[in-house]
């Protein structure tokens, strides 16, 4: 994995291009218009950002006549994700236990919710019983 990937991701406009491409392949003109809607940027500047992303392996380009269509490159994105996961796990001695601990936390929370729901049901039943007239209780006659 190349350090160029993270250099490319270090610029906000390029990150925005990737966000736009997350919806699927886009022609270069549509990317220019979407970026211009947010900030003043020239078509050559967008082309430069697209070139950097392409060289970093984050996007692919497909020519169709005179038009260029850009899309995310899954292989480049996967390489960046794997590198970040390794980095995140390298300094954490508990990394191998993270998923089981997350599952345990979920089960603990589920148990707490269950106990709260049962307590609420019991309180509602007790309140309903207190409000219901008891049968067999003599009524006062005048």
Domain of 105, in residue numbers = 93-129
Residue at 138 is within a domain: no
In terms of Cα–Cα distance, which of 130, 136, 69 is closest to 60?
A: 69
The structure tokens 């220019």 sit at 32
Residue at 141 is within a domain: no
Predicted confidence band of residue 111 (pLDDT cuts 50, 70, 90): confident
Residue at 140 is within a domain: no
Q: Pull the structure tokens for residue 77.
A: 């994105």
Residues 105, 73 share a domain: no
H runs (alpha helix) in the chain: 4-9, 12-21, 28-36, 43-55, 74-90, 98-131
Cα 33 to Cα 42: distance, rounded to the nearest angstrom = 10
What's the structural domain count of the chain?
2
pLDDT tens readout for residues 23-48: 899 999 999 999 999 889 999 999 99
Residues facing residue 68 across a β-bridge: 63
């Amino acid at each position: 994995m190349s350090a160029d990937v993270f250099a490319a991701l270090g610029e906000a406009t390029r990150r925005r291009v990737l966000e736009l491409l997350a919806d699927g392949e886009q022609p270069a003109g549509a990317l220019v218009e979407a970026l211009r809607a947010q900030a003043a940027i020239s078509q050559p500047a967008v082309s430069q950002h697209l070139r950097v992303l392409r060289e970093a392996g984050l996007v692919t380009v497909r020519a169709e006549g005179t038009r260029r269509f850009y899309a995310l490159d899954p292989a480049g994105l996967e390489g960046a994700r794997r590198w970040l996961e390794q980095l995140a796990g390298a300094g954490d001695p508990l990394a191998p236990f993270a998923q089981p601990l997350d599952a345990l936390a979920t089960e603990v929370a589920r148990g707490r919710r269950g106990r709260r729901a049962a307590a609420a049901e019991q309180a509602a039943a007790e309140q309903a019983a207190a409000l219901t007239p008891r049968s067999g209780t003599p009524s006062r006659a005048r």
